[in-house]
Structure 1
């Protein structure tokens, strides 16, 4: 990470403080990944109800992401980061105090605002700070907050739930986010020199269907479905197979793999292009879904986790970098907000849809269905990511440039 040593001291401090805040945010959020479904099951929820409650998280993301992206462009990234972190600090108290499933759904939707705000503000601010010729490298390094947090969070959350109980679990999640608020206070928000047009709020649909945004949004929709299926049901699926594996270790293995990929994928994409690495991530997701579908041992689940981590560690940073390439500085928040809507929709519908499928054909059959979706994502990206099939294929496999990237 020698890039940080080449920056001016103030910029380096800004990035490192932002990194610490991101680490605390994702640790707080991820501590509930393997534990909250088990908590919801313990209060009497069915498979489909668990899916609906967990999927409610993305309702907040879906509703507020576009507006938060516009707010990040107009008022600066820092205020949006603070909104996300404060929501993440408040939500765990709701889980602690409420036992009614409908009310937990409302709290879960409120919790979704946290990632809509923090995710959009974080990536927009990093893109503002990163030199253009090292954009992929810096975004890749800064995105390490996700896998590190997702490695620490589930292990810590699973331990607290098993050894101390749910009260300690939810208090810990809130405390981590509260510390994150303190880390954000000294972060310097650079000014946005060029302001967005006055009618930016009216451009959501037009932006979504534009060639530079639509296919990435569709790919993110499928990624959201796959991740939603894994995050919502993997703990229950492992339990149903009788395999003796703590689901927290699945997330930890995936996070370590994701961390490893981000160390070099971003820098390599500056040289070989974003498309090759997006394609790799979709192939990794597909292989992982196949292994989860067929898993019947600890080893198979852990290998699937490593491959899934490689996919997630490449997909989100590379698509985020690709969207940065395609956006002007004053519209980055809006472009991130609109393109990530596909991801949000995938997470919203993954819980209830796959919960209903699991109710009919079981968790194993459900993951078989998910495999087909990730195969479809490869086909879509390889044929529709550019102006025509030939250019799309070349871009998707690192043989041609991104025709929608803005040259400045």
Structure 2
């Protein structure tokens, strides 16, 4: 007589707290993304030159990067709720403050505060969602959660430009602040898990002062995220100027098509990660990213631009959430805050460094050539990851022996 087949039910993913955390993240990112294409215009109208416009991005990125390690440590010691409240209040204060700024100096000063708030809140949201998602469905959950970010990236910039043109900067900052307040209010009804207990083994692993701020097990996937961020920095910073160079007037199609593809790919990549592991996503994703960059460099019209964005969207949409899920799966529960901070620091560093390094390349060559050069970063990604896989294989052989 055949024995009955027992099926193991997957733990629930779409819980109350998962939905509220994803929704709060959507409002936060919408508030943030509304200001990306509009703040440079505000700086120009306030008397700023090209240097000031560049500083708007640079100062923000630097202080977000600096805030992340502190946020990660605080999350693992003070708890999730208090850090979330502090980060969102700082973020709201900065966004609301733009309403009263009249000089470039005060705008740049607020960018410091805004960057700190952004660094704290995004690190906190990433940590909280990793607490909430069941370990067996981490890749899938990160994929769905990431859709809130992607949706904001696709629609909020267009919405921000529309509000700026129709109602002015006062309403722009008011609506952005309201969205951030909505994120804060929703975050108050999330049931935050208690801080994980630290076992003696986990505590003993923190050997140096640096280990308290940077999670060493997160460094390798964070390095891969940095290489991806290097290419992304070149796209978000220079795609408009590239469009002018090759005669494409509306480069917004790139972001819309890219975001649509990312939304399709993320959940599928997440499920594949849960079933087969990261290698099945990280290697194919790299080749799609390379193809997207190469196609972009030869784009001369909207159809070719959209085709490039679809390929890049597959690569980016597969790699980024997979690396984040892999980062969390590599660390102890009581180090998730530090790991999330390390991961986003690597990604932010890549975006900032990519914008600066590729800007030098573009000045010396062209924007089209710049995108071809940026493929080198994905080459570093592939070589590094393949060497890691070979090392892991050798380690498994020696262990069996």
What TM-score range do you get, normalising by the shorter chain?
0.7 to 0.9
**1:372 matches 2:400:** no
1:135-146 matches, within 5 Å, as 135-146=138-149
Are residue 170 (structure 1) and residue 173 (structure 2) matched? Answer: yes
Partner residue in 1 for 2:353? 349
33-42 vs 284-293, which moves further: 33-42
Residue 322 (structure 1) shift: 0.6
Deviations along 1:307-351, one digit per CA (max 9) or x if unpaired, are 232223222211111111111111111122123322222233233
Q: 1:379 to 1:141 in 2, by over 3 A?
A: same
Deviation, structure 1 residue 201: 9.8
For the 8 Å contact 1:29–1:88, the answer to whether it is kept is: no
Please give the TM-score of this superposition, normalised by the length of structure 2: 0.84
Distance in structure 2 (CA, Å) of the matches to 1:201 and 1:24: 39
What residue is the counterpart of 1:312 in the other structure? 316
SS, match of residue 160 in structure 2: helix
Are residues 1:79 and 2:85 paired? no
For residue 5 of structure 2, what is the aligned residue in structure 1?
A: none
Aligned-pair distance for 1:245? 0.9
Q: 1:254 aligns with which of 233, 255, 258?
A: 258
Which consecutive residues of structure 2, in runs of 5 or more, have no partner in the other structure?
Answer: 1-8
Q: Which residue of 2 aligns with 1:406?
A: none
Moved more, 77-86 or 218-227: 77-86
CA contact (8 A) 2:164 2:172 kept: yes
Tell me how far apart the structure 1 counterparts of residues 355 and 394 of structure 2 sit (CA, whole Å). 35
Taking the aligned partners of 1:38 and 1:289, their CA distance within structure 2 comes to: 28
Q: Distance in 2 between matches of 1:5 and 1:87?
A: 38
Query: Which of 289, 297, 303 is 1:299 aligned to?
Result: 303
Determine the structure 1 residue equivalent to 2:290: 286
Maintained 8 Å contact 2:68/2:119: yes
Residue correspondences, number: 385
Structure with greater Cα Rg = 2
* 1:329-377 residue CA offsets vs partner (Å, 9 max, x unmatched): 1111112212332222223323333334333334333323222222222
Deviations 1:104-130 (A, max 9, x none): 444334322233222222222222222
Change (3 A) 1:238 1:101: farther
Change (3 A) 1:203 1:281: farther
Q: Is the 8 A contact 1:37 1:232 kept in 2?
A: no
Q: CA deviation at 1:378?
A: 1.8
| Coordinate RMSD, CA, aligned | 3.1
CA deviation after TM superposition for structure 1 residue 191, in Å: 0.7
Contact 1:93 1:171 in 2 (8 A): yes
Q: Gapped runs of 5+ residues in structure 1? A: 393-399, 404-408
| 1:194 positional shift | 0.6
Cross-structure match for 2:242: 237
Q: C-alpha separation between the residues in 2 aligned to 1:280 and 1:162? A: 41
CA distance in 2, matches of 1:120, 1:157: 24
Query: Equivalent residue for 1:182?
Result: 185
Q: Does 367-376 or 82-91 show the bigger shift?
A: 82-91
Q: Aligned partners of 1:360, 1:56: CA distance in 2, in Å?
A: 25
Contact kept in structure 2, 1:25 and 1:88, CA below 8 Å: no
